Amino acid sequence: MKRYVLTLMVVFVGIGLYAQVQETANAIETQSKTMAFDNINKTNELIIELGDVETSGGLPLMEALRERKSNRNISPSEIDFQLLAKLLWAACGVNRPAENKKTVPSARNVQEIEIYAFMENGIWHYNPIAKQLHLTKAGDHRKSVSRLEFVGAAPVVLVLVANYDKMKDFSAEDKVFYSSIDCGYVGQNIYLFAASENLATVTIGQVNREAVAKLIGLKNGKVMIAHPIGYAK
């Protein structure tokens, strides 16, 4: 009996210790991600690991549809790193890793719509398969995206770009036609995520396409639309 009680105590203490270690490890991981994000200019880091995001929760679909709207009253306050990671995943992240398929469809599954996140600390290219952000250009270039003032004042400006290198087998006309359709799905996912998380966003067609193409080094493709996004004012 004594030995039984002793074994039980050892098991309970073990479980308790394990949970505590796990909790500390999670806290350190979250903290280091946030720090990497905040201190990007100081550390000169070129890649941010987004990792797997929480894909449960949020508003039920019918409620998100009910709440979907364009809102140009975007607060300049920064949004937190985990929310940004979730936003990008919702926009066009991989939801079936075995096939690298995404939350959005694309013509012939060429997945040509790519996202560049313009933020205070730089322009970041989203890689949905590696679940990373790659620094394309350091510095604050948000104001270059559009002549509309509220766009450059948002904490994050997502710019959706059609990468024609991924559309080699499409005719010139089909490149424009299918990438426009594919881009719309990404935009709608951004709208629905915003509705679900109480964020403000709007599709922007008035984009300085040439200036943005130059900033991101786009050689073969088209700058499509932008989505400034942040908390609602």
Ligand X SMILES: Cc1cc2nc3c(=O)[nH]c(=O)nc-3n(C[C@H](O)[C@H](O)[C@H](O)COP(=O)(O)O)c2cc1C
Out of 46, 203, 209, 211, point to the residue binding ligand X (CB under 6 A).
203
Nearer to ligand X, 206 or 220 (CB): 206
Query: Is position 204 an interface residue for ligand X (rule: CB under 6 A)?
Result: yes
Q: Which one among 17, 18, 28, 69 touches ligand X, defined by CB under 6 A?
A: 69
Helices 172-197 and 81-92: crossing angle in degrees, nearest 10, is 140
Site string for ligand X, 173-202 (x = CB under 6 A): -----------------------------x
Q: Is the Cβ of residue 136 or residue 203 nearer to ligand X in the bound state?
A: 203
Write b or e for each residue in 157-166: b if 16 or more Cβ atoms lie within 10 A of its Cβ, otherwise e.
bbbbbbbbeb
Calculate the dihedral angle through the C-alpha atoms of 6, 11, 14, 18, rounding to the nearest 10 degrees: -170
CB 58 within 8 A of CB 92: no
Distance of CA 14 to the CA centre of its chain: 38
Helix (H) or strand (E) holding 138, with range, is strand 132-138
Question: How many amino acids of this chain bind ligand X (CB under 6 A)?
Answer: 9
Chain position carrying tokens 């426009």: 180
User: Which C-beta is closer to ligand X: that of 41 or that of 206?
Assistant: 206
Name the segment binding ligand X (CB under 6 A); options: 46-54, 64-72, 84-92, 169-177: 64-72
Residue number, 131 or 227, with CB nearest to ligand X? 227
In the complex, the residues that contact ligand X under the rule CB under 6 A are: 69-70, 72, 202-206, 225
